[in-house]
Amino acid sequence: MNADDWLEDTRTSYDTVAVSYADQTRDALNEHPYLRGALALFADLVRTEGDGPVADVGCGPGHVTAHLQKLGLDVFGIDLSPAMIDIARRDHPALRFEVGTMTDLDLPDDSLVGLLAFWSLIHVPDHEVPTVFGHFRRALQPGGMLLLGFHVGDESHLKTQGYGGHQMKVYVHRRQPAQVTAWLRDAGFTVETQMLLGLDESLPGAILFARNQAKA
């Protein structure tokens, strides 16, 4: 599978499920105090770096973007799916949302004080992750904060249906925190904190806080 194939499959799949996905996730943070705690800590850490924009990459319908805005961040959202962006703009008209890809992130160098990728990296194949992290580091200012959330595991599977029974064609990649940490360090990040979530559940998660190192 080449890059265009998986990107197009992911875009088409989330365009298809956008309305159902938004309905199912609109209030999801209310049920997850640890996720809200991680987002609050991220907001506090970003503010210590000063004022500046924060990107929610893979923002979907914008519910996390809006939550970060309520925490006082100057945040905007980017997503591969135009249908998701349409919903985000409808539901959160005061915020900025744009279509884009994390594999070719169209943001100026050193333009962000923070970047969030909350369970959006799960569809990116392993061989593309270093490119994605390279873009994240390029866009972040030295000292800028990165927050990643992802599924924990050792396998990938093809998701063919979801969010109301709609047809999908996306690979979901579960990864060990040690592997993601290694990729981040190779890209020039310092990994500061790791949180593990739902360890007794069928689909545990991990959150990593990383800081962009000074660039040579």
pLDDT at 122: 96
Delimit the domains of the chain by residue range: 3-212
Give the number of residues written for the chain.
Answer: 216
| pTM summary value | 0.94
- Which pLDDT value is given to residue 4? 64
Q: Residue 113 pLDDT > 50, yes or no?
A: yes
- pLDDT tens-place string over residues 156-189: 999 998 888 889 999 999 999 999 999 999 999 9
| pLDDT confidence of residue 49 | 85
Phi, psi of 82 (to 5 degrees): -60, -35
Residue-wise pLDDT for 53-110, tens only, equals: 999 999 999 999 999 999 999 999 999 999 999 999 999 999 999 999 999 999 999 9
CATH assignment of 3-212? 3.40.50.150
Model confidence at 1: pLDDT above 80: no
Structure tokens at 211: 């800081």
Helix, strand, coil shares of the chain, percent, nearest 5, are 45, 30, 25
